[in-house]
Amino acid sequence: MFTTSRGAALAAHATLLLVGAVVVVPYAWMVLLSFKPTPELFSPATWFRVGNLSLDGYRHVLERAPFTRWAMNSLLVASALTAGQLLTSLLAAYAFARFEFRGREACFWMVLLTMMVPPQTLMVPSYVIVHQLGWINTVWGLVVPHLAWGFGIFMLRQFFLGVPRELTDAAALDGCGSLRTLWHVYVPLARSALTALAIIAFVTGWNEYYWPLIVVNSEEMRTLPIGIPRFTGADLDVQWQATMAAATLATLPVLALYVVAQKQFREGMGRSGLKG
C-alpha cells in the first residue's frame, strides 16, 4: 500500500513538473530572447551568454511605436468587458438560481448551448450588427457584442445554488427586495467566485485578437494583440527582439493581476460549479 501510494505521488509530481515545464519554458525563452541582440538569436552558442544582453528591443517598442496607447486601449476594453460581463452574469445567475418562472430550465439550457458555439461562426453577423449601429472603431463595438457570458452565468448559478435558502428568507423578513438581497447576501458570499471570473474575463479581453482585428482599422483604437504583430515586419525582415520585448511587456499586467489575486482565484474555482 505504501509503495503504491508513493509511486502514485511520484507520478503525480512528475506529471506536474512536465506540465509546468511546458508552460514556463516558452515564456522564459521569450523573455530571454527579448534581451538578446538580433544577430545572436540564430546562434545557439550565444543563447545563454549573459554578457551580451541588450535593452534595444524595449527601447524600440517604447520609442518607435504607440505601445502605451495600445496598452491603454487594451486596458480600457478588458476592464469594460470584465465589469459588463460580471454584471450581466451576476443578474442572470441570480435569476436562474432563485426565481421560479416558466421556461427557466429551457432558457438556462440555451445559455449553456451558447458555450458550445464556436465564436468564429458569430463574427460575421456580429460585425454586420456593429457596422449598422456605427460602432466600427469604437469601444462600444469592441465590448457590447461580448457582454453576455455563458460561462460566467453557469459558474455563478452553480455557486448560488449552494447558498442556503434561509439566508434569502431572512433578508426578505428584514425588508430586502431582490436586488438588495443579491447585493447584501449573495455578492459577499460569492466574492471569491467573482474574483476568479473577473480574472478570466480580464485575461480573455486582454488577449482578444480576432474581434478587434475585424472591428478596428484605425491606429488610435488598436489594442496590444493587433499592434504587436507590426514588429514582425514582412517576410525575412522580422524584428524578433522587439517582438519578444513587446510580448513580454504585454504579459506583465496579467501576471501581476494573477499574483495579487491568486488565492481568491483558486478558492473561487474550487467552490463554483459543484452544486447541481
Percent of the chain exceeding pLDDT 70 equals 87
Confidence of residue 236 (pLDDT cuts 50, 70, 90): low
Choose the most confident range, by mean pLDDT, from 1-15, 49-63, 174-188. 174-188
CA dihedral in degrees (28, 30, 36, 42; nearest 10)?
110
Question: What does the mean pLDDT of the chain come to?
Answer: 85
Q: Helix (H, G, I), strand (E, B), or coil: what is residue 53?
A: coil
Task: Using alpha carbons, select from 228, 200, 225 the residue that is nearest to residue 210.
Answer: 225
How far are the Cα atoms of 127, 143, 262 from residue 137, in angstroms, in the given order?
A: 12, 11, 34
Nearest to 54 by CA among 41, 67, 43, 45: 41
The rounded percent of the chain whose pLDDT value lies above 90 is: 36
User: Taken in order 191, 192, 196, 197, is the CA torsion positive or negative?
Assistant: negative
Matching residue, cell 545563454: 48
Name the DSSP class of 234.
Answer: S
Asked if residue 208 has pLDDT above 60, the reply is yes
**pLDDT digit string (tens) for 4-43?**
577 788 888 889 899 988 988 888 888 888 888 777 666 6
Q: Which amino acid is at 239?
A: Q
Q: Are 65 and 227 in contact (CB under 8 A)?
A: yes
Query: Would you state the pLDDT for residue 275?
Result: 42
Taken in order of first residue, the domains within the chain and their CATH numbers are 66-271 (1.10.3720.10)
Of these ranges, 24-28, 198-202, 235-239, the one predicted with the greatest mean pLDDT is 198-202
Which of 111-125, 152-166, 167-181, 230-244 shows the lowest per-residue confidence on average (mean pLDDT)? 230-244
The pLDDT of 125-130, averaged and rounded, is: 94
CB 108 within 8 A of CB 49: no
Check residue 93 and give its pLDDT: 94
Taking the CA atoms of 37, 43, 44 and 48 in sequence, report the sign of the dihedral they define: negative
